[in-house]
Structure 1
């Protein structure tokens, strides 16, 4: 069996997460999967597995969940410390016909409690650290779990009121249960930049369709170089990333630690040819371009989605690669729509690219995109319109919030919440989230792109509305070093409408589970500082 044969089968029958590891093992069971951490649920498995061993581990975990009483059609909330076993446990739940609800470890206990309540007495799968609460945060023990859940499972260890999966090690294996093609198969959540996250329902059909444009991107890799993946294990994007790498028979490096020193060591040891990571992680890794270990020398393709990527970041990473024709492929999309448009950047042009040009419609079988007027006038750079997406890969609904989903849906078209315009050549320019638009600023993201490119000492720049709705640049610097005011003034001469910058430590930036800056929360923080300077 070949990966291409399995891929064609997925296009017809949908992507079933619980079957994927076994299918990949049938393609090439010897392909290696390497981790930079130990698995909480399988502490003795080690950090280097073959795909066959990985598939067997998922089957083992599925048997344990069945022995614990989890059954087809039941919702299993997976919320535990960040670890690759999150993805494996989601696949294990899928394998027995349950519906995994993947909640980020970054969510606070109150938010998790609200989402569990929305699901309606699911089984909760977690770990002792999350129940007790990581340092400085309340744990799930503070919630009335007995009333919110059907049962509480932990991956290992002991905790009052919870059953450990370790107790069912060696449980009899169970035949796979396949979910209907258009019914809920996996539930993930939105970033929560504007409030309580929404629960996004994915089906086997929608998950399979989303692989189409990305399958072609991986076709650019002529060698079977390792694929390094550093994205949240709970995210819908992780389903696609793992599926593609497994079916393409590519060695996989699963990264949990984003610290630049650790990344440099891992990349120097494993020499990936493809890197997929969060935009903010890539930004944090920029300085590794000058590292003597040359961690990015082997990279042929950098890829990112989730959020805006700045031209400075792309340029520095591409120039640190020693591969001919190295490229940075940016995908624009969101959890509800999957990959919508994309664009490749090259080392000779990335530094001068317009970061707001997020790309063109991808090849046949991918999404359609349009920009709809907000006021009856044609959408332009100065009068951006609503960005909408249509294709069969759209998520099915928001769990228990169909009305909220329907409010964004107009027939086949989904309103993303972003605003922008299209150029004469058809390139989609995404200027801002509608809720983040600031009077007098064409695009906050464009300002950030330009100024970050002029001030390498900046590690982050976010423009938000100030107490008087004026555009306030919030800045962070490498090592929190004070910024030279003269250099700032020289860098922002093109943007006289900006207020004086506010510098804060980068650790104080409110972020989502995918490291996006929560702009509304940051704006509220500025208001509080003004009202309570102490």
Structure 2
């Protein structure tokens, strides 16, 4: 079997799928913000038409080839459609999560200097209320909603102003020209703006995944569901792969809130389920119910952040399939996936109580990715089995950071890129994650402690351990209501390295990124800790 060698084109993604006769039914957890009149059930030809219509509106708003188009709106799959529409014009879309702090959003828009900012009222009101003005750094703004609030963004274009505009013929960028911009999670500060090309994200990442691999590839009988931040670059690859493989149905879930996600997943039971870890954690009680919507799942996919064994075990047991699989991927916005590993019910049952399993990240993608661990101070390779700073060499590495070229180059050592993670490469070439360098403890990492505590405390949705340079680590125990049984905690912490008293916190009080990662720097402030950590933070 040969890999897909021709790039998938973002701007004509749906046109090309329609021309191949793709019959994938697309189901949404709520109507699209850019076309609410279309409802929640669409097909590929209608989506192709919507992208063309949207491209016409962007062109009428003044977008030209080479321009940047920033998108900041409530999370939904139409982030992808807007990116396709901008790319169709030869412009470069930049997806910015509505979950960003207004001040951070303004910084990123200022770095982008877009020809057009596409935003919704929720984002602009939050900015106005905090004294920020992201629209002030864009040549023009297209406000998707709030037709009665003329003072929200004076001079902004509205969808009705652009209706009926005709899209020019599609333009396809050169392989190595900038194609799309997305931001990193920003767990430790202002996110970086990552630039990808057609070669890196469409050929190297989506093209590799769109190969009909056994088990992994979507089949015509599959219902493929995705639930995460569609502002993330993963959404572009996920959609591109689906349009190439043409599963029977595609389900886009725009919120981890069960009031929205539950009905969509019940109506369209997935057979392939991909979600960000925070969504899996929130849905864990639902997955434990006998009549859950995950009963048909044959393959779970998890990326973005570390998962803890109890949640993985719950979802595998939720499926009524004989042998469901959990595929755990590790990667970054800058690189795409670097390693992957499959987990089974049997493996998790055998390892239950013996130590962490999900920090074992598997092996690099064969023939595509090379990893090495180095001493953080000397940058010399360390022996197999010794923790070190992980560097990667991959053809899918992004092209740089918008407005921060110095920061980008500082993470490159020759052709090797620093992931900023501390890990161990075993004698067999597998990778075991220890922690982010900035969060790592003097002896070991926070993730191992979090794994054990999650295993021993089923009532805790998530445990976040924060390192302190001159004292024991501070654990934050996240529960649905912010309450914690202190006796149960003492039993769970028995035999572990010294920990400070736990800080109970409700789920909704924990600061998170658009992909659900805990913003550890902000959390440190909320629990009264200083910004200093045991790590250097040099590689963030």
> Common fold, TM-score beyond 0.5?
yes
Aligned-partner Cα distance in 1 for 2:347–2:445 = 22
Consecutive unaligned residues of structure 1, counting only runs of 5 or more, are none
Number of residue-to-residue matches in the alignment = 515
For residues 212-361 of structure 1, the aligned pairs below 5 Å read 212-215=207-210, 219-220=214-215, 221-222=218-219, 224-250=221-247, 251-351=249-349, 352=351, 354-361=357-364
Aligned-partner Cα distance in 1 for 2:489–2:375 = 36
Does the Cα contact within 8 Å between 2:483 and 2:506 map onto a contact in 1?
A: no
Deviations 1:208-261 (A, max 9, x none): 201255335864155521100111111111111111111110110000121235
Aligned-partner Cα distance in 2 for 1:121–1:296 = 41
Match of 1:154 in 2: 143
Task: Rate the CA distance shift 1:144–1:204 in 2: closer, same or farther, 3 A.
Answer: closer
- Report how far residue 168 of structure 1 moved: 2.0
| 2:455 counterpart (453, 457, 478) | 453
Deviations 1:36-94 (A, max 9, x none): 11112112111100011111101110011111211000011111122222211111001
Aligned-partner Cα distance in 2 for 1:200–1:124 = 18
Aligned-partner Cα distance in 2 for 1:468–1:153 = 50
Match of 2:204 in 1: 209
Match of 1:39 in 2: 32
Aligned-partner Cα distance in 2 for 1:237–1:409 = 23
Does the Cα contact within 8 Å between 2:141 and 2:157 map onto a contact in 1?
A: yes
Aligned-partner Cα distance in 2 for 1:90–1:377 = 40
SS of residue paired to 1:349: helix
> CA RMSD for the aligned pairs?
2.3
- Report how far residue 138 of structure 1 moved: 4.3
The farther-off stretch of 154-163 and 431-440 is 154-163
For residues 118-133 of structure 1, the aligned pairs below 5 Å read 118-133=111-126
Consecutive unaligned residues of structure 2, counting only runs of 5 or more, are 532-540
- Report how far residue 140 of structure 1 moved: 8.5
The farther-off stretch of 217-226 and 26-35 is 217-226
Does the Cα contact within 8 Å between 1:226 and 1:272 map onto a contact in 2?
A: yes
The farther-off stretch of 488-497 and 232-241 is 488-497
| 1:378 counterpart (376, 382, 392) | 382
- Report how far residue 506 of structure 1 moved: 2.1
Task: Rate the CA distance shift 1:139–1:96 in 2: closer, same or farther, 3 A.
Answer: farther
| 1:168 counterpart (148, 162, 184) | 162
Match of 2:537 in 1: none
Task: Rate the CA distance shift 1:130–1:271 in 2: closer, same or farther, 3 A.
Answer: same
Task: Rate the CA distance shift 1:204–1:97 in 2: closer, same or farther, 3 A.
Answer: same
Task: Rate the CA distance shift 1:493–1:294 in 2: closer, same or farther, 3 A.
Answer: same
Match of 2:45 in 1: 52
- Report how far residue 429 of structure 1 moved: 0.6
Deviations 1:299-326 (A, max 9, x none): 0100011110111111110011011221
Aligned-partner Cα distance in 1 for 2:439–2:118 = 35
- Report how far residue 203 of structure 1 moved: 0.3
The farther-off stretch of 454-463 and 262-271 is 262-271
Does the Cα contact within 8 Å between 1:24 and 1:51 map onto a contact in 2?
A: yes
Aligned-partner Cα distance in 2 for 1:161–1:391 = 45
